[in-house]
Amino acid sequence: MKKFIAGFCAAAIAAGCLGVTAMADTETTDKLVSYEATSDNVKLIGRTYRKGDSTILGYSASGVEFKCTGTKAVFNVNGSAGPARFGVFVNGKLAKQGYIKNSKTDAIEAALPEGECTVKLIKLSEAAQSVTAIESIEVDGKIQPTEKAKHSIEFIGDSITCGYGVETALGKEQFSIYNENAAKTYAYKTAQNFGADYSFVSVSGAGVISGYTNGKDRNESLLVPDFYDKLCFTWSWFNGEEVAKYDWDFSQYQPELVVVNLGTNDNSYTKNDETKCAEFAKGYVDFIKEIREKNPNAEILCTLGLMGQELYPTIEKAVADYTAETGDSKVKATELSVQDSNANGFAVDYHPAAASHKTAADELTKAISDIYGWETVDPVDDGVDAMTKDNDENFDKVVEISSSTGNSSEEAKPEGSSSEPAKDSSTVVSSSSAATTNTNSTTNPNSTSNPNTDAAMGIGIGLAALAGAAMIATKRKK
User: DSSP letters along 65-119, please?
Assistant: EEEE-SSEEEEEEE-TT--EEEEEEETTEEEEEEEE-SSSEEEEEEE--SS-EEE
Could you tell me if 360 and 260 lie in one domain?
yes
Residue 200 phi/psi, 5-degree rounding, is -100, 140
Query: How far is Cα of residue 358 from the mean position of the Cα atoms in its chain?
Result: 18
Task: Name the CA radius of gyration of the chain, rounded.
Answer: 24
Query: How far is Cα of residue 236 from the mean position of the Cα atoms in its chain?
Result: 14
Could you tell me if 124 and 206 lie in one domain?
no
Determine the Cα–Cα distance for residues 239 and 93; give it in Å rounded to an integer. Answer: 33
**Residue 108 domain flag:** yes
300 is in which domain, residue-wise?
Answer: 152-388+418-471
**Nearest to 456, CA basis, from 319, 348, 318, 364:** 348
State the sign of the Cα–Cα–Cα–Cα dihedral 44, 457, 230, 287: positive
> 348: which DSSP letter?
G
CATH code, domain carrying 119: 2.60.120.260
Residue 360 near residue 303, CB atoms below 8 Å = no
Predicted confidence pLDDT, tens digits, the chain (478 residues):
443 334 433 443 343 433 333 333 333 345 899 999 999 999 999 999 999 999 999 999 999 999 999 999 999 999 888 899 999 999 999 999 999 987 788 899 999 999 999 999 999 999 999 899 999 999 999 999 999 999 999 999 999 999 999 999 999 999 999 999 999 999 999 999 999 999 999 999 999 999 999 878 999 999 999 999 999 999 999 988 999 999 999 999 999 999 999 999 999 999 999 999 999 999 999 999 999 999 999 999 999 999 989 999 999 999 999 999 999 999 999 999 999 999 999 999 999 999 999 999 999 999 999 999 999 999 889 999 999 999 999 998 765 544 334 543 333 333 433 333 232 222 222 222 222 223 333 333 222 223 333 444 433 333 333 333 333 333 333 3
Residue 224 near residue 59, CB atoms below 8 Å = no
Structural domains counted in the chain = 2
Could you tell me if 128 and 231 lie in one domain?
no
Determine the Cα–Cα distance for residues 395 and 108; give it in Å rounded to an integer. Answer: 6
Residue 107: strand pairing partners: 76
Could you tell me if 135 and 172 lie in one domain?
no
State the sign of the Cα–Cα–Cα–Cα dihedral 380, 382, 383, 384: negative
pTM: 0.82
Determine the Cα–Cα distance for residues 328 and 325; give it in Å rounded to an integer. Answer: 8
CATH code, domain carrying 366: 3.40.50.1110
Last residue of a domain, one of 111, 132, 147: 147
Determine the Cα–Cα distance for residues 331 and 257; give it in Å rounded to an integer. Answer: 10
**Residue 448 domain flag:** yes
State the sign of the Cα–Cα–Cα–Cα dihedral 80, 131, 402, 112: positive
Could you tell me if 156 and 302 lie in one domain?
yes
**Torsion on CA atoms 229, 230, 234, 236, rounded to nearest 10:** -170
Could you tell me if 170 and 201 lie in one domain?
yes
3-state DSSP of 216-263:
CCCECCCEHHHHCCECCCCCCEECCEEHHHCECCHHHCCCCEEEEECC
**Residue 412 domain flag:** no
